[in-house]
Structures are given as structure tokens and as C-alpha cells.
Amino acid sequence: MKNFNGKAIYNPSGKAGEYSYWACNFYVGCSNGCEYCYCKKGILAGAMGQDKPQLKKCFYDKYDALSVFEKEVTKNLEEVRKHGIFFSFTTDPMLPETKELTIWAISYCIFREVPVKILTKCTDWIDSFFLSIRFEKFYPIETCVKFIAFGFTLTGHDELEKGASTNIERIKAIRKLHEAGFKTWASIEPILYFDSATRMIELSMEYCDLYKIGLMSGSKPNVEDLRSFVSHTNWYSTIKPGFKIYWKDSISKFFTTSSWTDGCCVQRDFNIFNQ
């Protein structure tokens, strides 16, 4: 795998690399107000912890950002077609301030047959998204569903995400998108409490194709509680065939063997579009 670090797209590493081989960041900062946000901590806070999204300083404006994105995608076309592009690690890509540029980029990816993975905590964009993609850009829904997988972060704690849509609204959005034919996934990260994480999975599992599950950075869980949570979550695959889970390194590192996994568990290179 190459190590590409462009202005718009790049190969993330570390914990971010567990989400995708390729990612796109147009903005820094976010208005969701998540109290646990990693961008608001440590050395990242000054550059990426703003309460409102701002276009990255390397771009003159949104049109320049899109132009750069198109050039970088074209330069890496074979690889991004293979792995897809994730939006976004430094903001929510579907905020009122960010969604227009995200949709432009998605439209270009569909044109170049590049899969796109979105992760958001917002839901009020869904109806306008269908209009933007299907009519302005002339892509029928049958084409869109081949190249877009929608993900929502589910923690079960609205009080810690006061600027975002509620967790229940996100689950309703997952259902709507799933019923429209899109691949859907959920990020159960960070796990704030095992019981609330379990509840989020129970409420969304009928409509989710994949879960990516991880602990809060720096947390030290009770290993027996963690083992019980893992076993119980894996058991859900007996209820819903095709139920897939990627246990992030923050969890899998506590287990010395693969005996805790089963057929529902996948590795980080799992391709949701081939499911």
C-alpha cells in the first residue's frame, strides 16, 4: 500500500486506519458538540477542535477543494476504487456547512465508480441528499446504492452530543437508507457504557450491515464485562443472518486467542460493498 498524503485525500494510520485505507478531509472543526471528541483533546485541539467547521487553509474555497479532490482521486484511481474513500475524520461531513462539498465529492466519486463511506451524527440532510444526487447530478438510485455506504455513530448518550441529531433519529435514518437499498453501518465508538452500546445495537441491527466497535481512547474496561459484551454482541448474528462486526484493536487487544470470534466477525479490510 502506498502512503499518499494529499491536500484532500490521504492514507490514514493508527486508529483512523481501522476505518478505511483512504479518507478525505475538507474541513476541520465541528458543531456536534461531542464532549468526548478526540479532536478537542491534546495537541489536536488548537487545529481541529473548533466548535464550527472551517474549510482547511490549504484550499482557497469550496471550488478549489473540489478541484483538488478530483485531481487526487484521478491520480490514485485504481486504489480508491478498490478500497473506497471515507468522509471524514476532522469534522462531520453532513453538517449544514459541510454537506454541499461532501455531496459534490460523492457525485464525482459515483462518476468515477469510486465507493464512498460516510460517517455522521446528522440526519436532517437525507431528503435533500436524494434530490441533489438523483436529479441535479442525474444519478438514478440504482447507481447511487452501488457506491455509497452510510454510517452513523451510535453511543446512546444524546446529553454528550448536544449539537447532533439524537441517537433515535440516527437509527431512524439508518432504517430509511437501508430500506432505500443503501449499505448501512454504525460506529459504536466510543463505548461509553456497555449497556447503552448494547441498546444501540439492539435497536439498529435489523437495518445495519456492519458495526465497527471500539472503546474510548485511554479507557480501561473490566475484562470480564468486556468479554460478556463481546460474546453477547456476537450472539446477535444468530438472529440476523449477515450481521457483521469489526472489533477494533482497542477491544481485540484484550483477547489472546481467536476463540471469542465467530462467523459474524470480520477483519479491518472487510469490504462492505462486496457483502
Please, are residues 112 and 76 in contact by the beta-carbon 8 Å criterion? no
pLDDT at 141: 80
Is 45 or 12 the better-scoring residue by pLDDT? 12
Among 44-48, 96-100, 115-119, 261-265, the least confident range: 44-48
pLDDT at 30: 95
**pLDDT tens digit sequence for 164-182:** 999 999 999 999 999 999 9
Percent of the chain exceeding pLDDT 90 equals 69
pLDDT at 80: 97
Q: Supply the DSSP string of 175-199, one letter for each residue.
A: HHHHHTT-EEEEEEEEES-HHHHHH
CA 142 to CA 131: how far, in whole Å?
Answer: 14
Among 56-60, 185-189, 204-208, 239-243, the least confident range: 239-243
CA nearest 108: which of 58, 74, 83, 146?
74
pLDDT at 133: 66
CA 182 to CA 161: how far, in whole Å?
Answer: 26
Alpha helices for 6-83 (secondary structure H): 14-17, 45-48, 62-75, 77-83
**pLDDT tens digit sequence for 60-109:** 999 999 999 999 999 999 999 999 999 999 999 999 999 999 999 999 99
pLDDT at 44: 62
Thinking of the domain 9-274, which architecture would CATH place it in?
Alpha-Beta Barrel (3.20)
**pLDDT tens digit sequence for 45-61:** 666 668 899 999 999 99
Query: Helices 223-235 and 194-204 sit at what angle, rounded to 10 degrees?
Result: 10
For range 216-237, the mean pLDDT: 89
Query: Which residue bears the cell 465508538?
Result: 189
CA 190 to CA 216: how far, in whole Å?
Answer: 4
Please, are residues 150 and 185 in contact by the beta-carbon 8 Å criterion? yes
For range 22-29, the mean pLDDT: 97
Percent of the chain exceeding pLDDT 70 equals 91
pLDDT bin (cut points 50, 70, 90) of residue 123 is: very high
pLDDT at 142: 84
pLDDT at 136: 47
pLDDT at 148 over 90: yes
Q: CB atoms < 10 A from the CB of 35, how many? A: 11
Q: Output DSSP code: residue 272.
A: G
- What is the four-CA torsion angle of 187, 243, 269, 28, rounded to 10 degrees? -20
Query: Which residue bears the cell 498524503?
Result: 5
For range 193-203, the mean pLDDT: 96
Query: Helices 99-111 and 62-75 sit at what angle, rounded to 10 degrees?
Result: 30
